[in-house]
Amino acid sequence: MAQIADPGAGLAPGRVVRQGSGVLVQSAISIVSTTLIAVALLPAMLQAFLDKPLYYPEATFTFGNFARLFTDPEILQTFGTTAVFCLIVVSFSMVVGTTLAILVGRTDLPGRGWLLGVLLWPLFISPQIIGFGAILAYGPYGLLTAFVGDAIGVRLPWNLYSVFGIAIVCGIAAAPVTMLYCIGAARQQDPNHDAAARVTGAGPARILRRINLPLMRPALVFALIMNIVSALEALAIPLILGNPVGIKLLTTMIYDLSFERGTPNYGLIAALALMLMTLVALLFVFQRLVLAAGHRFVSLGTRAGQLRALPLGRWRWPVFGAVLLYVAFAILAILGCVAIRSVTQVFSPDISPFEVLTWANFHTIVSIDLYVRSITNTLILAVVGAAAGTVLIAAVALVAQRSDFPLRRAVDGIAQLPRVIPGFIVGLGVFYASVFIPGMSVLRNTIWLLFVAYLIRFLSSGYGIVSPALLQISPDFDRAAKSVGAGWTSTMRRIVLPLSKPALLSCFILLMILIIKEYSSAVFLMAPGSEVMGATMLALWIQGQTGPVAALAVLQIALTAVMTVAAKQLLGVKLHG
């Protein structure tokens, strides 16, 4: 028998070994992932250039839909409103999120550990729940509006049903995103920099301003782009608060054109969606260009000691009090009002909740078919979708990161492409596909069409967890396996995937949480029999069914909390920094 030469000989450390087997499997994985993205994008892109629905044989090519974007006064006004809205959301989120990240991550603020967990709660809660709670707490007849107004004896000046009010509520939902990205950058800085600054007599404020914040620039840029994207694709909160008073953003205009104006103008809807997606894509390109020189901000080197917390001095307890006020009014009050509404017959500041306590709302959601289907379908999709999504994401990541497949860089790009596709555009694209693509019509009005949308929607989210984990596994395992004759498929299945188990578990839990709270990609696909909790809550709140919706919201929060705790306690999975 001929001796097998060591294929790892002469290879540079860190280089993934090329293995010839598995080409068919790699090709199949690439085709599946490409097809999924094409399902979401191509029908919508085609519809944007047609004068009639794409399933009409007489539909003809036109640029008229795009011309209308820049000539229709209503659309032009919506562009301006959206720009103002985004500016307020991003400003609030960046200032509040960065400040909280620095206070929790770099200072001696009391209670930093538990404050971090509470401040990140909105990250795991569906945006429409935050919108519901904001109305119940701070609306014209909200509990906190009446309470604070009575306490100071004057009518409060805030107006939740305004561009500013809507933006602040969205900013509360977005602030944890900034905090999550910035807290790691705040904590992982070289203590040598601080020590050198102290030697020169610099105080905490100057160290923060001249050293810490500049070194956080990549995280700040990343958070800035993510906040702009979040603001551009916000749907639930602008719909709940803006539609009753006629405030339109790009997202709510697309929703309005789809559901509120008789026969939908599919060409104009697709053109608006394509323009929004292009804006998001350009933002991510800008982000990559800005961060291309990330080596300029390297702050981890040979450490001479442990990073010391910046002392707040006499401001320590006043700042702690200010953070507690933010937690109380921006998080606990909003979620608390949702919880109170779920166990009361009516919700009014003039009636004590203890006088109208009831379990009827929870009885409703477990006895009426619509609510039961929503809960059941959501749980099925959460389990099946998370499992299938984890398998797909693992397969795509293996091809992109640990194979010599000729198109592996393209596969990596495809896996990250859903980042630039807002959720409701995924739903819109899958809806068009179900009408246009032969064979997909059988999925219409079933939860399996939502299943396809969720796979597309969260491909990038899971890939962001699994891909870095695969890169941390030494390629020596690949070399050793090939040296004994193992092919690519066997090596991945028997060696690499078992070593990636923590990342795969994290991916599975994250996908379950994301699917449970998802609503935007379901609004265009939900039909009788295929309801899910997120989209059902949004639709029924608009109809005024606040009690059962609040009960559904509490159930959704409880499910998310159980999974988050289980991930941490039972599986050792940490879903945030």
Mean pLDDT over residues 223-250, rounded?
90
Question: pLDDT tens-digit profile of 445-455?
Answer: 899 999 999 99
DSSP 308-359: PPBP-GGGHHHHHHHHHHHIIIIIIHHHHHHHHHHTBS---TTS-GGGSB-S
308 vs 461, which has greater pLDDT?
A: 461
Domain encompassing residue 498: 15-47+384-530
Is there a domain that residue 463 lies in?
A: yes
Predicted confidence (pLDDT) at residue 19 exceeds the cutoff of 50: no
Q: What pLDDT does residue 95 have?
A: 94
Q: What pLDDT does residue 231 have?
A: 92
Predicted confidence (pLDDT) at residue 459 exceeds the cutoff of 90: yes
Dihedral over alpha carbons 468, 470, 473, 476 (to 10 degrees): -130
Is there a domain that residue 460 lies in?
A: yes
Is there a domain that residue 25 lies in?
A: yes
Band (pLDDT 50/70/90 cuts) for residue 211 is low
CB 88 within 8 Å of CB 164: yes
Is there a domain that residue 32 lies in?
A: yes
Q: What pLDDT does residue 283 have?
A: 85
Q: What pLDDT does residue 347 have?
A: 82
Q: State the chain's mean pLDDT as an integer.
A: 83
* Distance of alpha carbon 239 from alpha carbon 82, whole angstroms: 13
Task: Kindly report which listed range (339-343, 360-364, 481-485) carries the lowest average pLDDT score.
Answer: 481-485
Predicted confidence (pLDDT) at residue 269 exceeds the cutoff of 60: yes
Specify the 3-state DSSP secondary structure of 50: strand
Is there a domain that residue 82 lies in?
A: no
Predicted confidence (pLDDT) at residue 52 exceeds the cutoff of 90: no
134 vs 539, which has greater pLDDT?
A: 134
* Distance of alpha carbon 80 from alpha carbon 385, whole angstroms: 38
Q: What pLDDT does residue 574 have?
A: 59
Question: pLDDT tens-digit profile of 374-392?
Answer: 999 999 999 999 999 999 9
Band (pLDDT 50/70/90 cuts) for residue 56 is confident
Q: What pLDDT does residue 193 have?
A: 55
Question: pLDDT tens-digit profile of 462-519?
Answer: 998 898 888 888 888 878 888 887 888 888 888 889 988 888 988 998 899 999 989 8
Band (pLDDT 50/70/90 cuts) for residue 395 is very high
Band (pLDDT 50/70/90 cuts) for residue 131 is very high
Tokens at 472, concatenated: 């941390």
Q: How far is CA 30 from the centre of its chain?
A: 25
CB 448 within 8 Å of CB 67: no
Of 169-178, 251-260, 541-550, the range with the highest mean pLDDT is: 169-178
Mean pLDDT over residues 25-42, rounded?
90
Band (pLDDT 50/70/90 cuts) for residue 304 is very low
Q: What pLDDT does residue 299 have?
A: 45
Band (pLDDT 50/70/90 cuts) for residue 186 is low
Number of structural domains (the chain) is: 1
Band (pLDDT 50/70/90 cuts) for residue 3 is very low
| pTM: predicted TM-score of the whole model, two decimal places | 0.84
Is there a domain that residue 244 lies in?
A: no
Is there a domain that residue 576 lies in?
A: no
Is there a domain that residue 335 lies in?
A: no
152 vs 284, which has greater pLDDT?
A: 284
* Distance of alpha carbon 183 from alpha carbon 194, whole angstroms: 17
Distances (CA, A) of 178 to 97, 184, 218, 227: 5, 11, 12, 7
> What percentage of the chain has pLDDT greater than the value 90?
36
164 vs 225, which has greater pLDDT?
A: 164
Predicted confidence (pLDDT) at residue 576 exceeds the cutoff of 70: no
**What CATH number is associated with residue 434?**
1.10.3720.10
Task: Kindly report which listed range (203-207, 251-255, 557-561) carries the lowest average pLDDT score.
Answer: 203-207
